[in-house]
Chains A and B, each alone.
Chain A
Amino acid sequence: MKNRNQYKSKIKEGNRAVTAILYLLAALMAFITVYPMYYVLILSLSEPQYAATMKVYTIPKGFNLGAYEVLVTDTKMWRAYANTFLYVIANTILMVITSTTVAFGLNYKKLIGRKFLTMFLLIPMYFSGGMIPSFLLIVKLGLYDSPLSQIIPAAFSIWNIILVRSYFRSIPDSLSEAAKIDGAGILQILIKIFVPLGKPIFAVIAVYTIVATWNSWFKAMLYLPHTDWQPLQMHLRRILVETTRTVTQAMDPAAAKEAAARELSNAQLQYAMIIFTTLPVLFAYPFFQRYFVKGMVMGSLKE
């Protein structure tokens, strides 16, 4: 702790004017990224017809909580919320475990068959068999229409393995060696040295996985034909897709009429839905940010 404060005070010595400019620049960046969210928020609170125009820039035009009312009373949405939480938790835990173990293995200096293994990991990053073979596999494994179809195939990511591996590389070998001399086995080296030192990268992987799981819908679209176990994003997407399917595409009068009605009633709903579905995950990042604080890693090194 002391070390960090000392370091903080020193870096402040830089040019004040430059510091001010940098702070302003950061504020500007924050503005252009926060504004759209704010924009979505005011659209979600405006009267539906104004929400449909999208020309609401500063404060809500009119005030209407109708969309939120619809959402809060929507039991299907709450079910989808719970599903998403389940997938997020399961996937994050599994992802950190799978990435860490393989990355650790790859980082092991005397690994036999490394060349083969790297190729084994590289090929799937670029080639896939496409939708139908994957689907047939899921059916064969008995995962179709089961929540496990959202967890097991999403439990690993080759890119995350590479990231963790690259991070592990920067951990000095002397630490493992010292542990070995103390009689530690492979598993102990992983748990005693790499796991504590890898916290920042685990935090990154966790954030990545949380966000990816939170935003994912394609696997659900393919493997979950019924809404019971579908995640939140499928629910959101349903509203969005229904809204964007334009009236002109409808081939008969009744369908056109229906589309027109939905277009308007969903105009506000879609924005409320975004606010509603985004809030929890926005808090995931600050939660993990504490692992990104300078000096933490080196601090744990000294323990």
Chain B
Amino acid sequence: MFRKIHNTKGESGTKQKKKYGEGIIKENLQVYALMLPTLLLILIFCYVPLYGIIIAFEDYVPGSSFIGKDVDWVGLKWFKQFITGHYFARLIKNTLVLSILNLIFGFTAPILFALLLDQIKHLKYKKFIQTASYMPYFISTVVVAGMVISFVDTDGLITSLLSVFGFARENYRTNSGAFPWIYTFTNVWKGFGFGSILYCSIISSIDPGLYEAAKLDGANRWQQVWHVTLPGLKAVIAINLIKTVGDILSTNTDLILLFYTPATYDVADVIGTYTYRLGILEGQYSYTTAAGVFTSLIGFAITYVANKISNKLAGVGLW
């Protein structure tokens, strides 16, 4: 039945063309009229300020103009400085490692959790779990970081727990090996409940008839998840995945800034934290903008490619 929906879609596309050809312009006008206010907002608030990117190619100081005769053009100086910087390779490596860990755990956790919730049929219990799961999302990053730092301290809650399993009693905050895991776990823990909202809503919109049909075919619990629920989530998983992959060069900078110490710089210093330190030293508006443009370009390119692949393989994409 699921497949059938998709099929009708394809057919109807061609059918429509023949039937309503004359009204296309008129309908388009109506559709655009609906979209216009929002598109204008996007144009004003997203596109108008875009000229700011230009400062990546000049030596900008607040108070001077962005374009004009007194602009100090430096070309690709900042990009060169960033890419040939002493720590460039390490920054990219650390950023990628943390992002990939996030992709493996942070991306999948909300999906698995939504699937788990779907198995819980006791409504009140389900509501309670669901509400509970998104609580951490509301605790300010500053407090979350303070809490985790206290938990992984030499005599903290988690350290004590780990020591039962034979781990060393130490301050795990200063342990380079532990950092990526602490960071990833904190991120996942903070976000999985909130992230699962979308999946829960999509699962709820899957036609119950599909499950009925699957059961008649003798599908067990896992087969139902595999053959009905997951296909139903396919589209939203795909677009989320594309977005996550596109964000591969951005990390939760706020959290890292609160977590890291010079002892863990070697694994924790990422593009975001590095440009932050640059920024507080001397403004460095142009340099940090250049670093931002660099990550944006890569993110944009990755998204573009990922979307192409997804459209080809799964038939769904961001656009």
Tell me whether A11 is interfacial, beta carbon within 8 Å.
Answer: yes
B130→A285 contact, CB < 8 A = yes
Tell me which residues across on chain B come within 8 A of A278, comparing CB atoms. 135, 138-139
Q: Considering only CB atoms and an 8 Å cut-off, how many residues of chain A contact the other chain?
A: 110
Most B CB contacts (10 A, CB to CB) among A129, A162, A172, A296 go to A129
A7-43 CB contacts (< 8 Å) to partner B: 7-8, 10-12, 14-15, 18-19, 22-23, 25-27, 29-30, 32-34, 36-37, 39-40
Give the shortest distance, in Å, between A168 (CB) and chain B (any CB).
Answer: 11
Contacts known (A22-B120, A26-B120, A133-B66); A111 close to B42, Cβ less than 8 A:
no
A282 CA / B129 CA spacing, docked (Å): 13
Most A CB contacts (10 A, CB to CB) among B55, B189, B208 go to B208
28 contacts between A and B (CB under 8 A): A12-B121, A26-B125, A33-B135, A34-B132, A37-B135, A39-B147, A102-B35, A102-B39, A105-B31, A106-B319, A110-B20, A110-B27, A112-B24, A124-B46, A130-B292, A133-B66, A134-B52, A156-B42, A167-B202, A173-B9, A174-B8, A177-B15, A203-B201, A237-B140, A274-B140, A278-B135, A282-B138, A292-B204
Tell me which residues across on chain B come within 8 A of A29, comparing CB atoms. 113, 116, 129, 132-133
Contacts known (A27-B129, A29-B113, A186-B31); A170 close to B38, Cβ less than 8 A:
no
A172→B133 contact, CB < 8 A = no
A27 CA / B136 CA spacing, docked (Å): 16
- Give 1 or 0 for each of A123-140: 1 = CB within 8 Å of chain B CB: 111111110111011000
B142→A169 contact, CB < 8 A = no
- Give 1 or 0 for each of B87-98: 1 = CB within 8 Å of chain A CB: 000000000000
Number of A-B contacts (CB under 8 A): 285
Tell me which residues across on chain A come within 8 A of B243, comparing CB atoms. 159
When C-beta atoms are compared, the residue in chain A nearest to B55 turns out to be A130
B201→A236 contact, CB < 8 A = no
Tell me whether B163 is interfacial, beta carbon within 8 Å.
Answer: no
Pick the contact of A36: B13, B46, B128, B135 (CB < 8 A): B135
Q: Which of B68-76, B191-199, B263-271 is the contact stretch?
A: B191-199
Contacts known (A22-B116, A172-B5, A173-B13); A185 close to B132, Cβ less than 8 A:
no
Most B CB contacts (10 A, CB to CB) among A126, A167, A286 go to A126
Contacts known (A25-B116, A180-B20, A292-B200); A55 close to B49, Cβ less than 8 A:
no
